[in-house]
Amino acid sequence: MLGGGTIWMTEACEQARELGLSPILSARTAQDAMAMVAAGSPPVSHLLLQPNSAGDLLDDLVDMTAGQTTGVSLVVLGEPQKLPNHPSAPAMTFVPRPSPSWLKQALVHGAPARECPERLQEPSMQELEDALAERRIQTRYQPIVRLDNGHPVGVEVLARLEHPQRGILAPDLFVPQMEEAGLAWRLTDQVIDRAFADWGEGKLGSFGLTLALNFPLDVLLIPEALTSLETRRRQSGLPADRVVIELTESRPVREIARLRHAISTLRGIGYGLAIDDVGPEVRDHKALLDLQFTALKLDKDLVRDSLNSRTAHNFLTRTIASARKADLTVIAEGVEDQAIWREMQRLGVDQAQGFLIARPLPTAAVPLWHRDWCARLER
C-alpha cells in the first residue's frame, strides 16, 4: 500500500484500483495535479504525467518533481523523444505503456526518479555570470501560516537558477558561491524584480499575503540597494507594510551602527524586518534583538531537532522567550509533520513554514495552494 497516494492524470487510475493499490488521489486536470504536489499533506508518492495533458503547466510540474527534493517520483507516460530537450529529462522515468505488473511493482515497491548527479554539481563561476547576465534567476514561493488557526499570512521568496542543460538548480548549489564572489546584490536584484512582477495588481498580491525577501547583510548595507528596492516596490504598487526583509547572515555582524541605520531607514518607510535562520551558531542574534526587527525566524534544522534534542529544545525555549520580550513575531521554518506543528504551538511560536504546509511553489501553483488550503481550514 502506498504511504500517501498517487496522482493520476490518465485512465490508469481505474487500472491501479483494480490492482488494489490504494489510497489513490486522482487529478482530473493539470491544475489539480499541481495543487496536490504543492500541498504538504496528504503526501504524494508518484506523479504519472502525460505531457500532452499538462499544457502550459508542463515545465512547472516537471520542476516541482523531477530532480527536486519533493519526495515525489515523476513518471512520464510516453517516449523520451516527447521531451528530448527538457533539462530535467535525465531525472525522469519514461514508461510508454505501463502494464498491470509494472504498475504494481512501481507503486508498491517504489519507482523513484532516476538519479541525475550532474544536477547536484555546483555551477562554475562562468555559469553563474552567464545566468545573471541572461536573467535566468527564477523565484519560488513558500507559504507561511499562523499556528493558532492555520490562516495564510505570507510567503517567502526563494531563488532558483535555470541551467540550460541541468534544469532548475536549488539555492544551496549557487547562492553561497554568488555571495562569496560578490554577486549577492545582482542576485537579490533579479529576485526582487521577478517577485514584484508576480505580486502586481491582479496577480498574487490579491491574496493579502506578505512577501518576504532575503537580503544578505552585505546587500542590506548598500544604500543603492535600498533605493532600488523602494523604487521597484512603489512601481509595483505593493504597500511597504506587506514586504518583509529577511536578514540572512551566517558570519558575525561587525557593523552594527551601519546595520542600525539601514534598518531604521526601512522601518521608517514601513517595511517589516526579520532575523533569519536563528540557531546556536548565530552568535549575534541577542544583539540584533535590540534593533528594530519585527520578526525572528527559527532555523529549520533546529526546529526539526526539537522533538529529540534537549539542546535544541532548550535553545528554542530561551530564544522564543527573548523574542517575546522584544515583541517579535516568531516563525518556525522546517515544520514538516503534525508532531513538530504541535510542539511549536506548545512553545509559543506564532507562525509556521515547511513541507507540512507547502513546498516552494512556482507562481502558477500559489493560487491553487491557497484555494485548497483555505478550503481544508473550512472543513
**6-42 pLDDT, tens per residue?**
555 455 555 556 655 555 566 767 787 788 777 766 6
**Which of 200-209, 271-280, 324-333 has the largest mean confidence?**
324-333
Cell of 227: 533605493
Would you call 84 helix, strand, or coil by DSSP?
coil
CATH class of 6-117: alpha beta
- The stretch 314-325 carries a mean pLDDT of 93
Of 151, 129, 154, give the one whose Cα is nearest residue 141: 154
Cβ–Cβ < 8 Å for 300, 271: no
- Which residues belong to CATH 3.40.50 in the chain? 6-117
Phi, psi of 209 (to 5 degrees): -95, 160
CATH number given to 125-378: 3.20.20.450
Question: Which residues touch 223 (CB under 8 Å, ≥6 apart)?
Answer: none
The helix or strand, by DSSP H or E, that contains position 344, with its residue range, turns out to be: helix 338-347
pLDDT per residue over 220-239, tens digit each? 999 999 999 999 999 988 99
- The stretch 307-322 carries a mean pLDDT of 93
The model's pTM is: 0.83
Least trusted range by pLDDT, from 46-50, 234-238, 365-369: 46-50
- Which residues belong to CATH 3.20.20.450 in the chain? 125-378
- The model's confidence at residue 112, banded by pLDDT at 50, 70 and 90, is very low
Beta bridge partners of 138: 160
Phi, psi of 191 (to 5 degrees): -65, -45
- The model's confidence at residue 115, banded by pLDDT at 50, 70 and 90, is very low
186 pLDDT higher than 90: yes
Q: How many CB atoms lie within 10 A of CB 104?
A: 16
Question: Which residues touch 307 (CB under 8 Å, ≥6 apart)?
Answer: 339, 340, 343
Q: Is the peptide bond before 216 cis (omega within 30 degrees of 0)?
A: no
Q: How many CA atoms does the CB half-sphere of 107 hold within 13 Å?
A: 30
Would you call 25 helix, strand, or coil by DSSP?
strand
Cell of 293: 526587527
